[in-house]
């Protein structure tokens, strides 16, 4: 499967998405190009647990998505990024997914435990209280996996600071291309790629700080996979960059589901 050209598969998988793209989607894209990204006015829906894999996006802060003219940081690229990614995951693997419905969960929501993979956008703006720190700690210790995406420059300092409240003894480790997460489905042979914001670096937190044990968290420094997923059917993003972004996402999910 990994040898199959992802360009063709991604194009086929997203054909239906392109077909149903509405005038509103096109207008949202034009707004983005003019620097006026408007918040998606969409109710926070829940993919009911039925054995299918569902995307879970983590909400932080007090902002209400429905009351803002611009999306809060946690909602960046919502909902098209996850819907496109779930379509690709469904088409390329045997993972049964919720394609057009996902989850938005706060970090202190016990229902997080129903979903094995969590995604957080723009952790440079992340804040959390004691209950949320406890909730995320419990989620990770029980087997959950978290992806931190879309951050750059000194935004990493805030991610490190907030995670210290969640796992005080945890250490971030720079991941190299030999780690199994980069070979769980696609063979990613190089991490020397240009990210959305510049040269990328992948870091992770291991269970008990032991690199031979399970990876609990991965962070894509200087990258924005969600942006590339969201606009992969618009022509705004180069196809090869979108394809690479999907490869990382698919590998993350397959790793999390098998470790």
Q: Domains plus CATH for the chain? A: 6-258 (3.40.50.12140)
Beta partners for 173? 204
Phi, psi of 64, deg, nearest 5: -100, 115
Cis peptide before 240 (omega within 30 of 0): no
Q: How crowded is the C-beta side of 166, counted as CA atoms within 13 Å?
A: 27
- The span from the CA of 111 to the CA of 59, in Å, is 13
- The span from the CA of 5 to the CA of 22, in Å, is 28
List per-residue pLDDT tens for the chain, 259 residues long: 444 445 444 455 544 444 444 445 455 555 544 443 444 434 556 777 788 999 999 999 865 545 555 678 999 999 899 999 999 999 999 999 988 888 899 999 999 999 999 999 999 999 999 999 999 999 999 999 999 999 999 999 999 999 999 999 999 999 999 999 999 999 999 998 877 888 899 999 999 999 999 999 999 999 999 999 999 988 888 888 899 999 999 999 999 999 9
Cα–Cα distances in Å, from 245 out to 17, 110, 202, 234, 238?
A: 18, 30, 13, 15, 11
Residues 76/63, Cβ–Cβ less than 8 Å: no
Q: Helices marked H in the chain — which ranges? A: 6-13, 15-19, 23-33, 80-92, 130-141, 155-166, 225-230, 239-258
Q: Comparing C-alpha atoms, which of 133, 144, 130, 127 is closest to residue 218? A: 144
Quickly list DSSP for 221-240: ETB-HHHHHHTTTTTSS-HH
- How far is Cα of residue 125 from the mean position of the Cα atoms in its chain? 16
Give the pLDDT score at 77: 92
pTM above 0.85, yes or no: no
Give the pLDDT score at 118: 98
């Amino acid at each position: 499967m990994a040898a199959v050209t992802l360009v063709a598969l991604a194009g086929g998988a997203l054909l239906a998405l392109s077909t149903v793209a509405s005038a509103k989607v096109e207008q949202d894209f034009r707004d983005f190009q003019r620097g006026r990204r408007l918040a998606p006015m969409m109710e926070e829906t829940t993919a009911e647990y039925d054995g299918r894999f569902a995307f879970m996006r983590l909400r932080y802060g007090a902002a209400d998505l429905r009351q803002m003219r611009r999306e809060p940081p946690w909602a960046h690229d919502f909902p098209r990024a996850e819907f496109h990614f779930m379509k690709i995951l469904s088409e390329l693997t045997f993972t049964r997914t919720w394609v057009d419905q996902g989850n938005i969960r706060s970090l202190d929501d016990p229902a997080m435990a129903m979903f094995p993979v969590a995604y957080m956008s723009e952790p440079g703006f992340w804040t959390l209280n004691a209950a949320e720190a406890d909730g995320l700690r419990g989620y990770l210790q029980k087997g959950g996996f978290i992806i931190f995406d879309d951050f750059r420059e000194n935004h990493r300092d805030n991610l490190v600071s907030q995670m210290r409240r969640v796992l005080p003894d945890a250490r971030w480790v720079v991941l190299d291309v030999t780690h199994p997460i980069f070979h769980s489905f696609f063979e990613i042979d190089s991490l020397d790629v240009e990210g959305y914001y510049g040269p990328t670096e992948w870091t992770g937190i291991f269970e008990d700080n032991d690199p031979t044990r399970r990876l609990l968290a991965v962070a894509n420094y200087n990258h924005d996979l969600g942006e590339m997923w969201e606009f992969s059917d618009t022509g705004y993003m180069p196809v090869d960059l979108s394809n690479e972004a999907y490869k990382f996402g698919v590998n993350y999910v397959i790793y999390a589901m098998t470790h």
